[in-house]
Structure 1
């Protein structure tokens, strides 16, 4: 029974990953308290583009998680309202030269063996998919499974879909963890009091490492800053998510230095979103004109029609980065009752449903929907 100060599980973080954890836990019959020091989607989720991608992931654990999430998002759209702007618009990865096309062919061949659908698009067919693309490109690959949602609304409606089993405690910062005589978790303390539960889920996103430290454990989550340019509302001049081949390499890179690669996509509301940049500069939100200049130049090189379009605003966000580019999902072996669901970097919106389902299965003793060994939070422990 959900009471004012007690529940079966406490989820720390009201972004889309925390919302998915709360939703699937509620579906499994648990009562959930979601705690966040800010509003729903006040962190990384509110700064995201809403990408649900398989196209940028090489075969392996993250791609398996993404493929499962793509199916779960489809199921969720039967329950959630159309305001989440779910679009199965697909993705298009393009190459400027034949060397890039060769690399894309090899990448797609490996993905197809893992269950991804990818179609090679010859240079003379690119404009059938995207009429405003620049001429002279060598070709590309179309990924029909790629999709998009409006992330802040998706998180809010996931929480609402949890019904009366889910209670929100917004504007409350967790200041400590409550433990029992054997070190097991009993809940959390906030500035307004204590909340009790046998399980606590760390869905704190970029601040997941700081939250883990409250439990006395190390989880090396670091912020990786990115900027997005938002244009004035337009007719649908960009039909899909379109990006250059070097974006895949940037996603997989562990470099702390600035990296930019063209990512351009239209939205149901009209504005075109332009990214993507990556750099590790802590939580510095200082506007970088160099990053914005690069993004604008790379976007107009792909879509010359955008050269005459006004950029209405820009915003920065921080991806929760872990050194091996895999999220931490599941029980922490060091603290009984503590589970993690963070470190998804730029893929958290896409990977949220599978993450939430895994956490719910762990909470209820069910069988996870896939092998969660690669996501074990204990993998960062020093080896003896």
Structure 2
């Protein structure tokens, strides 16, 4: 295998970058393939949230806790091997979830109680204390929950830093290269990745294509049900420091995250950036890959943001942007090896939480590939769980054995 990568990661967004970095740190030679610009699609359309506050107790919350543990070390390690990479702007500033109106207080405090039982620092406070932390909050806020563990980073800078670390450890990042399918050995296992620039021989391929993971999984011959879900964000002009001090959102955000219907769902999310601008979200809508900017969506987002922070009514909006997020029917990521094709791994389906879950996903995937211990149970994220694995298409010459044998991935160990 001299001269060939051990693993090829398809997708150079934040999740693909985190997986590639973790695999490279584990000693594998990694190549990242991206058909567009690295971090130029879903990652560039994110807000950079690293949250535990929006996740109910269960597998996703455990993965979020893993990410919170790993993100600082991953970023420090990347900076050590690639000191010229951009600053990811890691900011453990905490989050605040506010209840607008009395009807939202009981569900909010019950949700916080369940999270505390799962080990999350969730502090219920009154409206006056909330306004002491965030002076711009509406007087209609009667209660809130403070989440000191929530953090934020700049997603494009973070992904770029992780990819720089991949290169510094001997890996490669190829942009403008489209993945077309798999080459498979005589036993059916992965032997390489076919691209529009030739075939990359390897022993493992990681599907980290985000909203396009369903498309690539079909090309690979092992389809998983990952679909795009559209989201929009408004960006204000720079505001004075301290206008918004934390990530602040209203209590119905959790319900919007967990909703499964295709119809539009909006909820208020407000947070500042290092540049002084304020990001205002959010929306969720299943419209396929239709990237039309809908004014009614922007109006709904703005109206709800002003209800939470009334002073925003007088603030100019510089721009709006949107992106597609990888949605699965059960709202859980797909992480692990596909049992239908040995050597095909998935790391996708994080929807709007990809930035926050990326470090934990990279740690889990690298542990599974190398057979080392992980700090998260992989079983809930398996590719063959009900409702996620789809019937594969009939075998074709593109996905069947090529007769050239199967490359070995050093150090893979036992697969879970």
Q: Deviations over 1:37-80 (max 9, x none)?
A: 01111221111000000000000000000001011112234335
Q: SS of the counterpart of 2:275?
A: coil
Q: Distance in 2 between matches of 1:99 and 1:301?
A: 15
1:10 to 4, 8, 16: 8
Q: Distance in 2 between matches of 1:207 and 1:260?
A: 23
Unaligned runs of 5+ in 1: none
Question: CA contact under 8 A between 1:265 and 1:272: conserved in structure 2?
Answer: yes
- The structural deviation recorded for 1:290 is 0.1
Match of 1:70 in 2: 68
Task: Out of 133-142 and 196-205, give the one that drifted further.
Answer: 133-142
Match of 1:222 in 2: 227
2:341 to 335, 338, 352: 335
Task: Out of 73-82 and 248-257, give the one that drifted further.
Answer: 73-82
Task: Out of 92-101 and 273-282, give the one that drifted further.
Answer: 92-101
Q: SS of the counterpart of 1:79?
A: helix
1:56 to 50, 54, 69: 54
- The structural deviation recorded for 1:189 is 1.2
Match of 1:128 in 2: 132
Q: SS of the counterpart of 1:378?
A: coil
- The structural deviation recorded for 1:124 is 1.5
Q: Deviations over 1:1-35 (max 9, x none)?
A: 773xx200000000011111111111111000000
1:295-310 equivalences in 2 (<5 Å): 295-310=301-316
Q: SS of the counterpart of 1:33?
A: strand
Q: How many residues matched?
A: 381
Match of 1:89 in 2: 93
2:100 is the counterpart of 1:102: no
Q: Distance in 1 between matches of 2:104 and 2:257?
A: 16
Match of 1:285 in 2: 291
Q: Distance in 2 between matches of 1:215 and 1:38?
A: 19
TM, length-normalised to structure 2: 0.89
- The structural deviation recorded for 1:367 is 2.3
- The structural deviation recorded for 1:123 is 1.3
Match of 2:209 in 1: 204
2:364 to 348, 358, 361: 358
Match of 1:271 in 2: 277
Over 6 Å off, 4+ runs: none
1:156-167 equivalences in 2 (<5 Å): 156-162=160-166, 163-167=168-172
- The structural deviation recorded for 1:138 is 1.1
Match of 1:323 in 2: 329
TM, length-normalised to structure 1: 0.97
- The structural deviation recorded for 1:362 is 1.4
Q: Distance in 1 between matches of 2:186 and 2:245?
A: 58
Match of 2:414 in 1: none
Unaligned runs of 5+ in 2: 80-85, 392-416
Question: CA contact under 8 A between 1:226 and 1:318: conserved in structure 2?
Answer: yes
- The structural deviation recorded for 1:381 is 4.0
Q: Distance in 1 between matches of 2:230 and 2:390?
A: 28
Question: CA contact under 8 A between 2:94 and 2:151: conserved in structure 1?
Answer: yes
Question: CA contact under 8 A between 2:97 and 2:144: conserved in structure 1?
Answer: yes
Q: SS of the counterpart of 1:165?
A: coil
Task: Out of 365-374 and 344-353, give the one that drifted further.
Answer: 365-374
Q: Distance in 1 between matches of 2:138 and 2:2?
A: 56
Q: Distance in 2 between matches of 1:15 and 1:139?
A: 37
Cα distance change on mapping 1:93 and 1:51 into 2, 3 Å: same
Q: SS of the counterpart of 2:162?
A: helix
- The structural deviation recorded for 1:181 is 1.1
Cα distance change on mapping 1:201 and 1:107 into 2, 3 Å: same
Match of 2:30 in 1: 32
Question: CA contact under 8 A between 1:21 and 1:356: conserved in structure 2?
Answer: yes
Task: Out of 365-374 and 152-161, give the one that drifted further.
Answer: 365-374
Q: Distance in 1 between matches of 2:90 and 2:74?
A: 10
- The structural deviation recorded for 1:122 is 0.5
Question: CA contact under 8 A between 2:225 and 2:390: conserved in structure 1?
Answer: no
Q: Distance in 2 between matches of 1:115 and 1:74?
A: 20
Question: CA contact under 8 A between 1:175 and 1:190: conserved in structure 2?
Answer: yes
